Every structure is written in structure tokens, then in C-alpha cells.
């Protein structure tokens, strides 16, 4: 086995505060350079493997466009596209891909899988989402927050409402605590983040100056928040039957216009990692409507399409931040 290669990103806190913020500065520069058509490719001739056990729109496309813009090549291996997890072990797959490629993105179920890949690949490995963490999403989210609230990252307050045990809530808690932000999680008692994680966040806050709030009272958590963030109520890989349990639990945490108003601030923005259940035009949205009488689930269409919603800017920022990650890890 190898030590995890420098430039890897396995968890939201993996870069440390300074490394995280340095990537955001680079991402902002790269975004500007692309807009001005003066981007300089530094990944010419590099090869990157994109391994997905779960579906993706943004993460896959962000890695692909970022790589192509910088002159690198990618190979996409989808949920059924390789031997991984069926005929071949994670360690053997890692050895093969590590010999052929300069870096590996992995999205899947167990966090242990991406860590095992990193132990055996000998090249940088990037976590493109697991059941536990979504670190590259955090880069895009904090860049988006900074674009709307320039200045000290410590001055930003972000309130997540919804499933506090999911990869997004967990990642926001860890990221906000590391960066010194005012980070709040509002979730029903049954879906609060794991106690150990909250403890770690509170511990990190001692040195970063973060304010960490974890509560089942959405009104208290929302007061004065710059950003309201939510995620799908049932994540990829979770049982379909969870919808029956979670809809009643999470309906009080649904992001409606009234909930947005509870921040008491006119300028509060709405964030969502996407994909979102906000109307009845998708197969999932129709099923939620049919089964529970809700048009949209975690967020209403009204909020999703409002001027406060910056979700597509967030989605675009996936690409700029992932590019910064690739350039930092593999650039000349």
C-alpha cells in the first residue's frame, strides 16, 4: 500500500483550512480566465479516470469539462462499466488505474472504498461523493457563498435544513467548522447528524472560531442566516421506503417562502447541491405528489425559481472548483 498521494481529496476537511481557501482563490482565477478566454492549459497529456458506482450529472460533467479545458483526457467508468466490486477487488482496480492514469475520481457508496482506492493507487484520488461525504461539492458551495458575501469567510452564516444525517449536511458541518463559519443544522431529532461528528465540529470550532448550531428548531437556526441550504430527503442508495418515514418528519423543514422569510433578512440566498425535487415534472416528483400530495419535496418550486436561488451558479462552480483541484494536484 501507498500513503494517500498528495493532491488527493477524500473528506471535506482533507485540505485543511488554508488548502481549502487557496483552492477557492485558484478556482475564482480560473473562472475569470475562462470567461476572458485566456485560460492556460497546464494538464496537457494527463489522463484521468472517472469511476462512478452511482449516477451523476454535475460531478461527472464538471470533471470532464475541467479536464478538457486544461488539456487532459478522461475515461468514464459507469456503474456497470468495469469489473470493480464484482470480478475485481478495489485494491487490484486501484493498482491498475494508478499505473495507467495520473489521477482517479471515485463516486460510490462506502467511504471505505475511496480510502482503499487511495491506499493502493499511488496517484491522487478525489472523492466525488460517498454515503458519508461530498467534499468537491463543498468547494463549489463555499465559492458560491463567497461570491455573494465577499470578505471574510468567517462572517458567513449558512443554515442547512432537512436530513441532517446525509452527506451534504455532514459535509457542511465539517467544512463550516473547519473554516470558522457560522454553521447551523436544523433537522428532526431522528435525523440529526451523528453525535461524534457534532463533537468533532465543536472541537474544530475551538480553534477556527466557528459557531456551530445543531437543533430541531428551524426558526432558531434560521434567524439571521445568509444562506439556506437543503438537500434531497432520501439520498442515492437509501431505501425507497425511507420516503414514507421521512416525508412526515421533514415536512416542517421544507424550504418554503415562509421558511426563507424566517431568516429575517431580505438578502438570504437559497442553496441546493441538486438534483432537487421541486416540482412534478420528473418521475420522482410525480411519485412524491401522488403518494404524499406534495408538489415538490425539500423545496417548493416558488423558492427554487426565485431570485434568492443561486443553485445553478453553484452547479457551474462545481466545474471551476474541480478544475482548481485538478490543476493543484497535477499541474505542471
Burial class of residue 42, CB neighbours in 10 A (0-12, 13-18, 19+): middle
Prior bond of 280 cis (ω within 30°): no
159 assigned binding-site residue = no
Residue 110 near ligand NVA by CB under 6 A: no
- Cβ within 8 Å of residue 232, ≥6 positions away: 163, 166, 275, 276, 277, 297, 298
Pick from 136, 144, 157, 167: which binds ligand NVA (CB under 6 A)? 167
Q: Which residues pair with 186 in a beta bridge?
A: 161, 215
59 assigned binding-site residue = yes
Grid cell locating 267: 438578502
User: For ligand NVA, which is the closer residue by CB, 274 or 295?
Assistant: 274
- Mark 95-110 as b/e (b = at least 16 C-beta within 10 Å): bbbbeebbbbbbbbbe
Instruction: Name the residue among 181, 145, 182, 189 with its Cα closest to residue 165.
Output: 189
Which of 231, 278, 279, 314 is flagged as catalytic? Answer: 231
Which of 137, 159, 279, 314 is flagged as catalytic? Answer: 137
DSSP 8-state symbol, 305: T
Question: What is the side-by-side order of every strand in the sheet holding 227-230?
Answer: 211-215, 182-186, 157-161, 227-230, 269-272
184 assigned binding-site residue = no
Mark whether 137 is an active-site residue.
Answer: yes
Considering CB distances under 5 to 8 angstroms, the limit depending on partner class, which of ligand CP, ligand NVA, none binds residue 301? none
Which of 46, 60, 120, 134 is flagged as catalytic? Answer: 134
**Phi (first) and psi of residue 311, to 5 degrees:** -65, -30
Q: Which residues pair with 202 in a beta bridge?
A: none
Which residues, numbered 276-315, are part of the site for ligand NVA (CB under 6 A)? Answer: none
- Cβ within 8 Å of residue 80, ≥6 positions away: none
User: For ligand NVA, which is the closer residue by CB, 72 or 158?
Assistant: 158
Pick from 168, 183, 192, 214: which binds ligand NVA (CB under 6 A)? 168
Where does this chain touch ligand NVA (CB under 6 A) — which range of 41-49, 94-102, 160-168, 177-185?
160-168
Residue 174 near ligand NVA by CB under 6 A: no
User: For ligand CP, which is the closer residue by CB, 33 or 110?
Assistant: 110
Which of 165, 278, 318, 320 is flagged as catalytic? Answer: 318
Mark whether 273 is an active-site residue.
Answer: yes
Considering CB distances under 5 to 8 angstroms, the limit depending on partner class, which of ligand NVA, ligand CP, none binds residue 231? ligand NVA
In angstroms, the CA 142 to CA 238 distance is 27
Residue 62 near ligand NVA by CB under 6 A: no
Mark whether 134 is an active-site residue.
Answer: yes
In angstroms, the CA 280 to CA 124 distance is 40
Pick from 232, 260, 288, 325: which binds ligand NVA (CB under 6 A)? 232
User: For ligand CP, which is the closer residue by CB, 87 or 281?
Assistant: 281
Nearest distance in Å: CB 274, ligand NVA: 7
Grid cell locating 69: 479545458
Considering CB distances under 5 to 8 angstroms, the limit depending on partner class, which of ligand CP, ligand NVA, none binds residue 57? ligand CP
Grid cell locating 111: 467511504
Mark whether 287 is an active-site residue.
Answer: no
Q: How many residues bind ligand NVA (CB under 6 A)?
A: 9
User: For ligand CP, which is the closer residue by CB, 147 or 223?
Assistant: 147
Q: What sign does the CA torsion over 260, 227, 135, 75 have?
A: positive
In the complex, the residues that contact ligand CP under the rule CB under 6 A are 56-59, 129, 137, 273-274
Mark whether 318 is an active-site residue.
Answer: yes
Interface residue list for ligand NVA (CB under 6 A): 129, 166-168, 231-232, 235-236, 273
Annotated binding residues for carbamoyl phosphate: 56-59, 107, 134-137, 273-274, 318
Which residues are part of the catalytic machinery?
107, 134, 137, 231, 273, 318
Amino acid at each position: 500500500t501507498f500513503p494517500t498521494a498528495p493532491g488527493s481529496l477524500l473528506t471535506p476537511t482533507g485540505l485543511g483550512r488554508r488548502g481549502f481557501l487557496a483552492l477557492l482563490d485558484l478556482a475564482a482565477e480560473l473562472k475569470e480566465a475562462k470567461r476572458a478566454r485566456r485560460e492556460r492549459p497546464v494538464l496537457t497529456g494527463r489522463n484521468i479516470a472517472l469511476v462512478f458506482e452511482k449516477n451523476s450529472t454535475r460531478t461527472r460533467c464538471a470533471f470532464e469539462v475541467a479536464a478538457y479545458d486544461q488539456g487532459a483526457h478522461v475515461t468514464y467508468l459507469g456503474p456497470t462499466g468495469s469489473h470493480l466490486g464484482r470480478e475485481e477487488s478495489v485494491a487490484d482496480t486501484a493498482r491498475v488505474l494508478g499505473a495507467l492514469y495520473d489521477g482517479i475520481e471515485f463516486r460510490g457508496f462506502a467511504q471505505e472504498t475511496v480510502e482503499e482506492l487511495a491506499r493502493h493507487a499511488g496517484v491522487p484520488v478525489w472523492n466525488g461523493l460517498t454515503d458519508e461525504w461530498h467534499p468537491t461539492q463543498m468547494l463549489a458551495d463555499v465559492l458560491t457563498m463567497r461570491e455573494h458575501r465577499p470578505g471574510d469567510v468567517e462572517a458567513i452564516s449558512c443554515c442547512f435544513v432537512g436530513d441532517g444525517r446525509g452527506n451534504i449536511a455532514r459535509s457542511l458541518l465539517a467544512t463550516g467548522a473547519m473554516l470558522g463559519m457560522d454553521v447551523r443544522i436544523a433537522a428532526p431529532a431522528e435525523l440529526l447528524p451523528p453525535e461524534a461528528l457534532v463533537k468533532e465540529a465543536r472541537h474544530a470550532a475551538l480553534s477556527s472560531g466557528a459557531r456551530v448550531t445543531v437543533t430541531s428548531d428551524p426558526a432558531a437556526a434560521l434567524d439571521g442566516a445568509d444562506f439556506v441550504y437543503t438537500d434531497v430527503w432520501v439520498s442515492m442508495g437509501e431505501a425507497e421506503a425511507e420516503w414514507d418515514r421521512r416525508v412526515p418528519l421533514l415536512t416542517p423543514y421544507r424550504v418554503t417562502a415562509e421558511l426563507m422569510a424566517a431568516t429575517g433578512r431580505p438578502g438570504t440566498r437559497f442553496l441546493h447541491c441538486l438534483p432537487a425535487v421541486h416540482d412534478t415534472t420528473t418521475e420522482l416528483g410525480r411519485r412524491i405528489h401522488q403518494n404524499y400530495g406534495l408538489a415538490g419535496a425539500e423545496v417548493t418550486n416558488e423558492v427554487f425559481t426565485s431570485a434568492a436561488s443561486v443553485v445553478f451558479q453553484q452547479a457551474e462552480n462545481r466545474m471551476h472548483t474541480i478544475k482548481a483541484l485538478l490543476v493543484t494536484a497535477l499541474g505542471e
